[in-house]
Amino acid sequence: MTDIERLQKTFGRGTAVTIRTSDLGGPVVVLTVGKETATVALLGAQVIAWEAGASPGIIWMSSEARLDTGRNARGGIPVCWPWFADHPTDKSKPAHGFARTRLWEVVASSANAEVASVSLLTRVADVDLWPHAADLRLDVTLGRSLSLDLTTVNTGSNAFPLSQALHTYFRVGDIADVRVDGLDGRTYLDKLDGFSRKVQDGSIRVEGEVDRIYLGDTSRISLQDQRLRRRIEIEGRGSRSAVVWNPWIEKSRRLGDMGREGYQSMLCIETANAGDDVLMIDPGAEHTLGVTYKVGPLAG
């Protein structure tokens, strides 16, 4: 029996939860409820697709994304952990930590007429990059919305600082035709201007590279997509920061893996603990960073 067959036998739940090998070259769990599907790769516990009946899908993936290169696939919902962006003191360590390049294990699944869910786990100890110990679990639930809950448990004997993000790449019809609401009046750190502190004035529109960490109450954000005539409501929890990022032309060129459609068809809105919102997790303590996405028609 192959690993996939074993996982299917243990965690498969009819047509609601199935385990297979993705076309991108790695094992995935597919959640199906009615006309909705969500796909979670075991590499990095990365959501790589969410089709909510609407076409095209909600989550953006680069046309060059692969799951069998050892690097994380560009797009989807990468799990950035146990540090967000560059390591605070050692730039030689991988950006966004190492959780997204580990192979996680499936530990639970469930399904009923309304929802299907899967839980993945990675246990971290004795990692050269990080002198601490933790269990990291991601619970993904698909129903009339998509929810992710990322729980860190400190299983070691010393407290550690934690910064993290659910680094979600949303597909948009045309980056020039979207608006992000819910952050008006919030202070943000502008990565493109030495992380200087600025205040958001009204809605966010993207007319060039944007790379900002918004601070404070960032629990209710909405992405209004004029071209696709849809809005995505983003409800964060366990978070007091959110990142908005589009690489635009030059950074896309430097990244080199943004694929055919590239920056014009995506926008990252990331529920995070980042910037001023870094946590300290004591031995035995835990923290959950969560988010729920709901898709609906554009108002009016």
Looking at 3, 5, 95, 253, which residue binds ligand TA6 (CB under 6 A)? 95
Q: State in angstroms the smallest separation of the CB of 75 from ligand TA6.
A: 9
Residue 263, interface with ligand TA6 (CB under 6 A)?
no
Q: State in angstroms the smallest separation of the CB of 10 from ligand TA6.
A: 32
Looking at 66, 102, 167, 240, which residue binds ligand TA6 (CB under 6 A)? 167
Q: Which helix H or strand E contains 233, and what residues bound it? A: strand 230-237
Q: Based on CB atoms, which residue is closest to ligand TA6, 104 or 245?
A: 245
CA distance 236 to 208: 26
96 catalytic per annotation: no
Instruction: Find out whether 281 and 287 touch, Cβ atoms under 8 Å.
Output: yes
Q: C-alpha dihedral over 74, 79, 82, 86, to 10 degrees?
A: 30
Residue 277, interface with ligand TA6 (CB under 6 A)?
no
Q: Based on CB atoms, which residue is closest to ligand TA6, 85 or 204?
A: 85
Residue 248, interface with ligand TA6 (CB under 6 A)?
no
Instruction: Find out whether 142 and 115 touch, Cβ atoms under 8 Å.
Output: yes
Q: Based on CB atoms, which residue is closest to ligand TA6, 24 or 111?
A: 24
Q: State in angstroms the smallest separation of the CB of 43 from ligand TA6.
A: 14
Q: For residue 56, say if its preceding peptide bond is cis, omega within 30 degrees of 0.
A: yes
250 catalytic per annotation: no
Options 5, 114, 167, 250, the catalytic residue? 167
| Alpha helix (H) residue ranges in 189-277 | 248-255
Looking at 85, 134, 148, 175, which residue binds ligand TA6 (CB under 6 A)? 85
Q: Based on CB atoms, which residue is closest to ligand TA6, 67 or 118?
A: 67
The answer for residues whose C-beta is within 8 angstroms of residue 119's C-beta and 6 or more apart is 106, 107, 108, 109, 137, 138, 139, 140
Residue 192, interface with ligand TA6 (CB under 6 A)?
no
Q: State in angstroms the smallest separation of the CB of 18 from ligand TA6.
A: 28
Binding-site residue total for ligand TA6 (CB under 6 A)? 11
Instruction: Find out whether 164 and 97 touch, Cβ atoms under 8 Å.
Output: yes
Hey, what amino acid is at 109?
S
Q: How many CA atoms lie within 13 A of 198 on its CB side?
A: 15
Q: Based on CB atoms, which residue is closest to ligand TA6, 257 or 286?
A: 257
Three-state DSSP state, 261:
coil
Q: Which residues are catalytic?
A: 167, 270
